[in-house]
Amino acid sequence: SDQPLVLGIETSCDETGVGIVRGTELLADAVASSVEEHARFGGVVPEVASRAHLQAMVPTVHRACADAGIALTDVDAIAVTAGPGLAGALLVGVAAAKAYSLALGKPLYGVNHLSAHVAVDLLEHGPLDEACIALLVSGGHSSILRVPRVGGLELTELGATLDDAAGEAFDKVARLLGLGFPGGPLIDRAAREGDPAAIAFPRGLTGSRDPAFAFSFSGLKTAVARWVEARERAGEPVPVADVAASFQEAVVDVLTSKAIRAAREAGIDYLLLGGGVAANSRLRELALQRCQQAGIRLRVPRPGLCTDNGAMVAALGAQLVAAGATPSELDIPADSAMP
Ligand code: KG4
Ligand code: ZN
């Protein structure tokens, strides 16, 4: 095949991800997570994450090569998440990518984590030569983006959260319900036994005078906390499944309605979901239902490709190689605040 063989490295948070792709074909997706080490702290501890990346980096690269059935020397390019993310965590991946690039004599591509969350869909659904709206929802970001070309670098933000990211809200509510960390998957599971209409939690920024594509989740989180506190004060049991389901419904209702509105107003036929929260089963279900009603085509990668991984970085790297993009210099910084 004349498609570029690209190794992608992702270390922006607590997942050491190494993916290998040939063009838009996924060959390997090795992920080592330090999530267990953070669980007892109730959140990701940056220093713990950095050290775990350092330990997992080389073994994960070797595992990915073995899974793909390639030798490291076969790769045409190395791609790496250069930002945004945790500074120390990013640094480990960027340093490793530079070392592989230099040692193998292959070009380096430093990429944006959010662009990679969008590009990963190419591995699942193939090229899309039309503009799409992307709803990017993770632990650090919640944005609605206009994407002229999936696998390109130009993303226009139409709106973003004014306070907490959607994943952050899931994690905080899970903590106050005593479910553990990370909260997203735990709420997702608890909600299956609950009634999403049990409690009418607020839908932030959905008034007619509110910004159409901005989000706010901190008021929702506070509303859940107050509701739970009132129950406890009254000495009544907290119906965890109902609270989880009602909270989740409030989040995914707002996310899907605003994203679909963005697509309709822009006359765009495709909605793409990405980021860890896009693994949420209710978000996927409601997005599909509302897209079908609105005549919009939904593209959402399988859950394992929504949460952080190296394949998404490799997927974007392969697009850059194919487009003849200029490689990064070997002294590129890890940019924790990359826009
Ligand atoms: O994209 P990601 O893996 O890392 C960041 O770039 O932040 O997203 C992690 C976030 C966490 O907040 C996690 O709780 C959330 O995604 N998440 C979920 C689910 N799986 C992961 N949220 C809701 N439902 C899920 N099934
Ligand atoms: Zn992410």
The pLDDT value given to residue 151: 83
Between CA 313 and CA 126 the distance in angstroms is 16
The bound ligand whose nearest atom lies closest to the alpha carbon of 279 is 1
- Are 89 and 111 within one domain? yes
156-160 β-sheet, strand order = 156-160, 142-147, 132-137, 270-274, 297-299
Distance 308 CA to ligand 2 centre (A): 5
Structure confidence at residue 1 (pLDDT): 67
CA 323, 324, 327: angle at the middle one, nearest 5? Answer: 120
How far, in Å, is the centroid of ligand 2 from the Cα of 113?
6
Residues of the binding site for Fe cation: 113, 117, 308
Residues 195 and 141 in one domain: yes
pTM for this entry: 0.96
Based on the domain organization, do 17 and 59 belong to the same domain? Answer: yes
Q: pLDDT in tens for each of the 339 residues of the chain? A: 689 999 999 999 999 999 999 999 999 999 999 999 998 888 899 999 999 999 999 999 999 999 999 999 999 999 999 999 999 999 999 999 999 999 999 999 999 999 999 999 999 999 998 999 999 999 999 999 999 988 887 889 999 999 999 999 999 999 999 999 999 999 999 999 999 999 999 999 999 999 999 999 999 999 999 999 999 999 999 999 999 999 999 999 999 999 999 999 999 999 999 999 999 999 999 999 999 999 999 999 999 999 999 999 999 999 999 999 999 999 999 999 998
Structure confidence at residue 2 (pLDDT): 87
Same domain membership, residue 175 and residue 144: yes
Task: State the CATH number of the domain containing residue 40.
Answer: 3.30.420.40
Atom of ligand 1 at shortest range from CA of 308: 3
Task: Please report whether residue 52 resides in a domain.
Answer: yes
Q: Are residue 146 and residue 81 in the same domain, yes or no?
A: no
Same domain, yes or no, for 45 and 133? Answer: no
Please tell me whether residues 193 and 177 are part of one structural domain: yes
| Co-location of 181 and 70 in the same domain | no
The alpha carbon torsion through 312, 316, 318, 323 (nearest 10 deg) reads 170
* CA 22 to ligand 1 center in whole angstroms: 27
Residue from 38, 142, 170, 187 to probe ligand 1 pocket by mutation (most atoms less than 8 Å from CB)? 170
Range of the domain at 192: 129-301
168 and 74 assigned to the same domain: no
Token look-up 């944006």 returns 112
- Which ligand has an atom closest to residue 139 CA? 1
- In this predicted complex, what is the ipTM? 0.99
Does residue 25 sit within a domain?
yes
In a domain, 337, yes or no: no
User: From the annotation, which residues make up the binding site?
Assistant: 113, 117, 136-140, 171, 184, 188, 280, 308
CA 36, 39, 41, 44 torsion: positive or negative? positive
Q: Which atom in ligand 1 lies closest to the alpha carbon of residue 183?
A: 14
Q: Is residue 329 part of a domain?
A: no
Ligand closest to the CA atom of residue 305: 1
Indicate whether 256 belongs to any domain: yes
pLDDT of residue 152: 81
Q: How far is the CA of 167 from the centre of ligand 2 (A)?
A: 10
Pocket (CB within 6 angstroms of ligand 1): 13, 138-140, 167, 170-171, 182-185, 188, 275-277, 279-280, 307-308
Q: Which residues of 55-71 are buried (b: 16+ CB within 10 A; e: fewer)?
A: ebbeebbebbbeebebe
Closest Cα to atom 10 of ligand 1: 139
Q: Report the residue among 34, 307, 338 best suited for mutation to probe ligand 1: largest number of ligand atoms under 8 A from its CB.
A: 307
Please check whether residues 77 and 20 belong to one and the same domain.
Answer: yes
Q: State the pLDDT at residue 153.
A: 78
Please give the tally of structural domains in the chain: 2
Rounded to the nearest whole angstrom, what is the distance from the C-alpha of residue 331 to the centroid of ligand 1?
A: 31
| Pair (139, 283) in one structural domain | yes
In a domain, 327, yes or no: no
Report the SS3 class of residue 73: helix
CA of 185 to the centre of ligand 1 (A): 8
**Are 135 and 267 found together in one domain?**
yes
Q: Enumerate residues 6+ apart whose C-beta is below 8 A from 165.
A: 137, 138, 139, 140, 141, 142, 217
Within-domain flag for 29: yes
In a domain, residue 229? The reply is yes
